Copies of this chain bind each other. A is one copy, B any other.
């Protein structure tokens, strides 16, 4: 299977390295970063490209842009992991649309296009007989979408509850375990590289809410948006609130939850028993799927990281390879 890779940040590098290292039957025929690109129908030497990128800041020729690669390279699937604004979805959404229109499968880690334009992109993929996959957009390395589609096939999903933001979970874990204030725990998260200088997107629950939008629209075929999520962040939580919860054998976590029968779509700090499977430590993510046959299934794993996200992307690529390319 031939793939083109758009984006050579942390995730793109991880994917390229894993494709180079593992014998997956995948050849990269086009790569672009934000300033340059390279096209080679015979297969690109990934080690050379990553070395170029490191020394010059460019992966290829400055004459070749991302859209050139998407429009001109010879590939079966596009790996779209460009730096993208999660609230506008661009430039990823445009890249994805172009590739789908060319009848190319698309795998992305960008939440924006999926949260904002799921119906349109899914429809475009269907019209063109190709797959649009986005396992990496929710809960990092945890194979949520694969579990929903395959592992729990035949089950009705009744409700979901998740810890979908590692930054918030780290802050709350530290407040609970060490009695830190919110400000102290946030500072520690910044020092560890888990929180941005402006932490609004994480601590006000926006990131978790975007992931919830993706899950709800995927599972139940809904068309909800970020504004449909009832959202409360963790930035006003006091150390006292956590201490009270802990005294009763519980703790507080930022829980994203959805139950369409109750019309409940919410991200908020919730008091939760410490023995509950969703109570995970540090930056871990966790998701409980409540189903009619399997009952509650909880998945726990890393929500971020270069190679961890590459795992989700490669899972999608191999599924496309198995379902479409090898059988074609």
Partner of A294, one of B150, B311, B317: B311
Closest to A173 in B: B275
Q: Which residues of chain A from 264 to 317 have any CB-CB distance to chain B below 8 Å in the complex?
A: 275, 277, 279-281, 284, 286, 291-302, 305, 307-308, 310-312, 314-315, 317
Q: How far is the CA of A36 from the CA of B304 in the complex (A)?
A: 55
Interface contacts beyond A277-B286, A295-B308, A296-B302: sample of 14 additional A-B pairs, CB < 8 Å, sorted by A: A18-B293, A24-B154, A141-B293, A141-B295, A141-B297, A142-B294, A143-B151, A146-B147, A150-B150, A150-B315, A154-B311, A293-B314, A294-B311, A298-B301
A142 to B142 Cα, complex, angstroms: 14
Q: Is the CB of A311 within 8 A of B299?
A: no
A294-B136 Cα distance, complex, nearest whole Å:
11
Chain B residues with Cβ below 8 Å from A284 are: 277
Specify which of B22, B155, B300, B315 is in contact with A311 (CB 8 Å cutoff): B155
CB distance B155 to A151 under 8 Å? no
* Interface residue? A87 (CB, 8 A): no
Given A146-B146, A277-B277, A302-B294: A315 in contact with B141 (beta carbons within 8 A): no
Is there a chain B Cβ closer than 8 Å to A158's Cβ? no
Q: Is A327 part of the binding interface, using a Cβ–Cβ cutoff of 8 Å?
A: yes
- Interface SS, A side: mixed
Q: What is the bound-complex CA distance between A317 and B153, given in angstroms?
A: 9
Residues of B within 8 A of A327 (CB): 327
Contact A314 B141 (CB under 8 A): no
A314: chain B residues within 8 A (beta carbon): 153-154, 293
Contact check, B297 vs A299: say whether CB atoms are below 8 A apart. yes
Q: Which residue of B lies closest to A135 (CB)?
A: B151
| A residues in contact (CB < 8 Å) with B | 18, 22, 24, 141-143, 146-147, 150-155, 275, 277, 279-281, 284, 286, 291-302, 305, 307-308, 310-312, 314-315, 317-319, 327
Closest to A310 in B: B293
Pull 14 A–B residue pairs with CB atoms less than 8 Å apart, ordered by A.
A24-B154, A142-B297, A143-B297, A147-B151, A152-B315, A155-B311, A275-B281, A277-B286, A292-B307, A294-B312, A295-B305, A297-B300, A298-B298, A300-B300
Chain B residues, CB < 8 A from A299: 297-300
Residue of B with least CB distance to A293: B311
**A150: which B residues are within 8 A, CB to CB?**
143, 146, 150-151, 315, 319
